[in-house]
Structure 1
Amino acid sequence: MSVIMSEEIEEIPLASSETSYNDAEKNDIFNREFMPHINSMYNFAFRLTMDEDDANDLVQDTYLKAFRFISSFERGTNAKAWLFRILKNSFINDYRKRSKEPSKVDYQEVETTYNSEEAAEVDHTTDLRVETVQDMIGDEVATALNSLPVDFRTVIILCDIEGFTYEEMAKILDIPIGTVRSRLHRARNLLKDKLKVYASSMGYDTDED
């Protein structure tokens, strides 16, 4: 597959109109709406960078940007999705450029492999939280997930680990919902393929396809 070289993108998701918060309101939003998600933010950053120091830097950078541009956040909306989008954009613009991974997935190439019949099956892809990886705790699952190309790894993390909806993922990733579905479908299949040997050893049926 070909390499995708992402253009510089807007890092801060802008609201339709900015809000003038006073200092007390800014601190309250930061502490009440942003800080509760810091662990999830670190986990996401680590899965993207595969490095503790880079993950910490990415999270710190994200929170600095979030506070600096807090007027672009609409109080009471989905703060977690807003932060994840900033982190994802920062990763693309900076950390991903320095990534040791040799290539990125060309989604256009992947998506053209699906005909209309296959696309109809996307909605029936079983959520990984309730199938092969259920109760499978260990290095095997983490290793399989980490071995996926970063772009496929991202949709798995957002949906099956962080629990974002398709609509939220579309906003975080700046792609149509239909594209989210096809990418997630492909990513889950790739991950399940990697887990088949381990799943069989644990007594799971891997011959359902």
Structure 2
Amino acid sequence: MQTEQQYTQEILPCVPELSRTALRLARSTALADDLVQETLTRAWQSRSSFQPGTNARAWTHRILFNTYINHYRKRKRERQALEEIRGLSYKSVRPPHEGFGDEVVAALGALQPEFRKAVELVDLGELSYQAAAARLDCPVGTVMSRLHRGRKRLRGALEGYAAKQGLGRSAA
């Protein structure tokens, strides 16, 4: 095991060459500086695995290359995620009920307005009972009863549709 001073004496002479190599890899001064700093940090954390008298230049360069590869892979994943996000358009974000079949939309439209609004706010809009009550300007209990009645009527209206889709309740 070497002392910190011995370790520093072996590693410090490598820093200028690490900087040049990092700049060649990164093609950006800021990124090169970050890579060198990360390399020196990792080298310091792994100093117990460095054997005195071995090639410090090769050891630090291997750490630099691995650090650059990790950075490159991370940047590639970030770029792919951004491209996926850019591929989404406002038109691809549809109202919650738009993906339903015509039967579901028709059954929802056939509900009495107070039942339909409760179902839309809580089930489709994912609002809490309290938030829906505030939006509808009525007590929470009223929202709960309208929701129960609306769901019950929807269930009855959509039994045939559910059976065709294979979504009916099985008699077990």
Largest Rg, 1 or 2: 2
Report the TM-score, using the length of structure 1 for normalisation: 0.35
Report the TM-score, using the length of structure 2 for normalisation: 0.42
* Larger RCO (CA within 8 A; separation ≥ 6): 1
